[in-house]
Amino acid sequence: RDLPYPLRRQRQMCIRDRREDDKVVGGTINQSGSLLIRATHVGDDSVLAGIIRLVENAQSTRLPVQALVDKVTAVFVPVVMSIAVLTFAIWLWLGPSLAMALINAVAVLIIACPCAMGLATPTSIMVGMGRAAEMGVLFRKGQALQQLRDVQTIALDKTGTVTVGKPSLQSLLPTANDDRTALLGLAASVEQASEHPIAHAIVQAAQLEKLSLSKATGVQSATGQGIHATVNGQSVHIGAPQFMTHTGVDLEDARETLTQLNTSGQTTVCLAVDGELKALIAVADPIKDSSAAAIQSLHELGLHIAMISGDSQATTEAIASEVGIDEALGEVLPDGKVGHVKRLQKHHGSIAFVGDGINDAPALAAADVGIAIGSGTDVAIESADVVLMRDDLNGVVNAFAISKATLRNIRQNLFWAFAYNTALIPVAAGILYPLTGLLLSPMLAAGAMALSSVFVITNALRLRHVSLDT
């Protein structure tokens, strides 16, 4: 919704199949044939140029807290002007000379100059975002720095986020007496036309065994479900159990084995030939070494953590249990992630979504804060509010740490800037003169005013040393 209409329209176009004369955009994946494409939008009309404009707009945005500062300043300045006029009038009436009345009025104006207030927020933001970059976190949208403070739930994509994203073949189990090697070659012949990580795992296993692959024809893929093709006159289906059921393949005799594989954390797909189940193919995607520790750190921040995956519910729950995730949502198709994000928002409040794939882009945009893994696709990165430069969930912890530290620093700056000016206004007005005979000269008032700005800047620079313990 935050995108200009042309980019919003192009994003909508990314989630459906293409036919002849349809428009395609950068990031469109060809999985089942060849394409001849004509470039019609180039230069300033390209999607990339539009993205650059979005980034420039994001860099010029202001945090919501800055609007509060503007409102306070809008009241503070007229009040100070009124106090200066009142100071002049009182000293002109009661004081010994016009010069003293002018000096005290000018001292009030100088000491109350809201320079420190104006510096309090942007200085902290600048230093905080610089420190965030050093910690491997890039804030593409400034508002995300403040919005992270309100996040109560984090939804994680599984593949490439919690796991490495490079599954490998664990086993191929024939359901009858068919030759395992022949079935692997048949599966790889179909999957070599696909870009899916599971397809890569199957093809790689066939290559390691130096199998000769046949040419697949009539390749058709169902996004997030499976693939169908004809190999050597045989109709071959490979996909999730739901995909097989939809195509009329009987899985009843394989249910027990499917359950065992899924509960062990392995992703299982079925291989059917001419409508008959021939094998179960199990692949496993290793969990990143840093995932469990990062999720523990997020729990310590009081966050509810959910994981969304297209794998079976049993597989998703097994992986979630291993790393300590609170809620596992399995069997979610790519276009269903947005619905789950909205449901989590409704039940748990403000939500951050962490993902890396093309199919994560709508969910990243729908979440209150979208966090993309830097090693992910360009579409995911451009849809996110925050980009993690490292392929590591600890970057999410760093993002929360820098957000917390920066907002606390801003509050400190605003308090001291306002308290400093407010406390010294009566002194500049001459309230101590009847008791001590002392007045604050304009030169000392200027020094004190400058000192408040120095204090704000020095306090902001402390963010350069923020750490996960902050």
| Residues taking part in catalysis | 157
- Rounded CA-CA distance 9/390 in Å is 30
Spatial contact of 175 and 254, defined as CB atoms under 8 Å apart = yes
Contact 44, 31 (CB under 8 A): no
CB 249: neighbour CB atoms within 10 A?
20
> How big is the CA angle at 68 (ends 63 and 70), to the nearest 5 degrees?
95
Token reading at 414: 């605003």
SS3 330: coil
C-beta neighbour count of 4 within 10 angstroms: 12
* DSSP annotation string for 414-446: HHHHHHHHHHHHHHHHTTTHHHH-----HHHHH
Question: HSE on the CB side for 169, CA within 13 Å?
Answer: 20
Residue by residue, DSSP assigns 332-367 as --GGGHHHHHHHHHHHH-SEEEEE-SGGGHHHHHHS
8 Å CB contact between 155 and 367: yes
Name the burial class of residue 177, with classes exposed (0-12), middle (13-18) and buried (19+) by CB atoms within 10 angstroms of its CB.
exposed
The CA distances from residue 146 to 155, 365, 391, in Å, are 19, 17, 23
User: For 431-440, b where at least 16 C-beta lie within 10 A, e where not — what string?
Assistant: eebeeeeebb
Q: Which residue has the tokens 């919690």?
A: 162
Contact between residue 279 and residue 208 where contact means Cβ atoms under 8 Å apart: no
Q: In Å, what is the CA distance from 353 to each residue of 96, 287, 314, 394? A: 68, 19, 22, 14
> Do strands 267-273 and 234-239 pair parallel, antiparallel, or not at all (unpaired)?
antiparallel
C-alpha span between 178 and 163 (Å, rounded): 33
Residue with tokens 């899985």: 251
- The tokens of 227 are what? 């693939």
Beta-sheet strands, E only, within 65-224: 137-139, 153-157, 168-174, 216-222
